[in-house]
Structure 1
Amino acid sequence: MTTPDEHGTEAVVAQLREWLRANLPSDWRAAVEAGDTAALGAITSDPARTSAWYETLGAAGWATPGWPTEHGGRGATADEAGAVADELARWSAGRPDADFVGLALAGATILAWGTEEQRQRYLPPLARGRERWCQLFSEPGAGSDLASLATRAEAHPDGSWVVNGQKVWSSYAHESRFGLLMARSDASLPKHRGITYFLLDMSTPGVQARPLRQMTGDAEFNEVFLDDVVVPDSARLGGVNEGWRVAITTLMSERSGLSGRPAVGPGVTDALVARARTTGAWDSPVLRDRILGLLVEERTLQMATLRAFAPAMTRRARRDRSASWCTRS
């Protein structure tokens, strides 16, 4: 028996499939349908082609289906947005993992706390893949306890802020245009209250991102040094000394985003199974067990994440409905 929500999700996926038939380049579609990984790899590793595709995807609202329509989304529910992500993954047509911070974290946080000017400035290029974002939260001495951060933001008479400090484990910071920055703005207040949140332009003088090379040779993570970085007050997100409230939105978006990401979601697994049956690979016990193992791992991760964070998210939703602590004038 199907529920109304399932009908809604099916309708959204049907719309997406129709749109993909009209807009996904023919050679891209052919490579996916034929299982031609070499051809598909050549397409998806071409920056010019992927940039053009992300622009098309974002302009249609399919890169950010859960956002409001007035801000470049399609007003989809969480289930519908998840189904869209699955379908895009099936066609290797979604945004890359490197864009997760921007799409899932920056987008949700700016929508919740940003001024209309900030939304108009940051959301459209984010949705269309023009600007990458990173997260500047963790510090060498404040990893598990983010509220103990030592990076300082000092207010100047002209209204700007001067930031000094160091961040670490910032994914793709060396490739990012903007960063989500937490800094201590009042050391005299309790640690959760003396923090202000900024949308940092990573090209600002004094910002230096140094890649941390891993054993694999990749350099996804970075340490970021902030030396007398001047940040305009227009880049502040939320109230002065209220950055922890803003950060909660970011952190909750990260948790819910990770639990719903289609890295090996049902759509991808179904596609793997279908392809394996077509090619005869399903007859191999090794490959069959591996595909089923991926499905089990993904479901286990989703359930563990949801179980761990559902109580906190429920409490947050109740506060949002009944309390005034997160209300801004």
Structure 2
Amino acid sequence: MLLEIENLTLRVPGAARPLLDSVSLTVGPGEVVGLVGESGSGKSTTAKAALGLLPAGSVTSGSVHVNGTEVLALTGEALRTHRARTVAMVHQDPRAALNPVRRIGDFLVERGASRERAVELLDTVGLSDPEHRVRQRPHELSGGMLQRVVIAGALAAEPGLLLADEATSALDVTTQAEILALLRRLRATRDLGLLFITHDLHLAAAYCDRVYVMYAGRVVEQRAAKALFDAPAHPYTRGLLACSPTLGDTAHTLRPIPGRPPSLSDTFPGCPFVARCGESEDACGTWTPEQSDLDDGGTVACAVVAAKVPGTHVTEVSE
């Protein structure tokens, strides 16, 4: 596996509950894995753990392996090398990643490095007239062009794993489709593994091989994309799909999930979704569900679902 996160728990000072709670996740070579959930669910924090970018003062347990290396054990020069060569991240706002007074070529190559390399990278990501683009500054390029520049920078060291954190959400649909096609081509030609964070559930369904659903710092469901969207198992996943608009379904009324996502000051002895769940039972408030295996190879963390699946169980929370 390119990325293997196992039982990662992350606590930060002043928080009543973990920022991440026993998160397990894998990404293989050439695989696109989606990570979805409401804002604050822990998606970006999970991705940044692969870079060793953790909040100041945080305490972790579990493991984060990238290409066989334990990231949580890296420090100093070893950590800097890991971030520069093994894994790269593309963020939502490309303008925030670029110095507005520096030229595009300066972002792509270090001082003294070959300018031809910068041109080659821009050509790889399909940016027109790359010889001219390297001399331009960020304000001269559109948002879609800048996103290609940032992706080119991420690919400069030829990493095996790319973390895309809402990398297409600020783009119009045409440009979004072009960027996704670019990432798909890079996946095929470089056997690139991609962790794709998005709020767009329908995009995740169409683009990803597998999808993890996160809520309150926990993975609540993990399935192959088609299985998850055809027959979601967790009440939270069904709630997310119910409040997502679909083209052509004019009779469908959006049904928002009641309540609000829990903050870091909220604590709960059982399932974190219980206060917003319309299917909860008495045990949900006092028992924490483990990941239960489903027939299609996926998993779900729900006591109600687990009770219906032979051979599964839930674990009582200690007071």
TM-score by length of 2: 0.25
Q: Which has the higher contact order (CA 8 A, sep 6+)?
A: 2
Report the structure, 1 or 2, having the larger helix content: 1
Report the structure, 1 or 2, having the larger strand content: 2
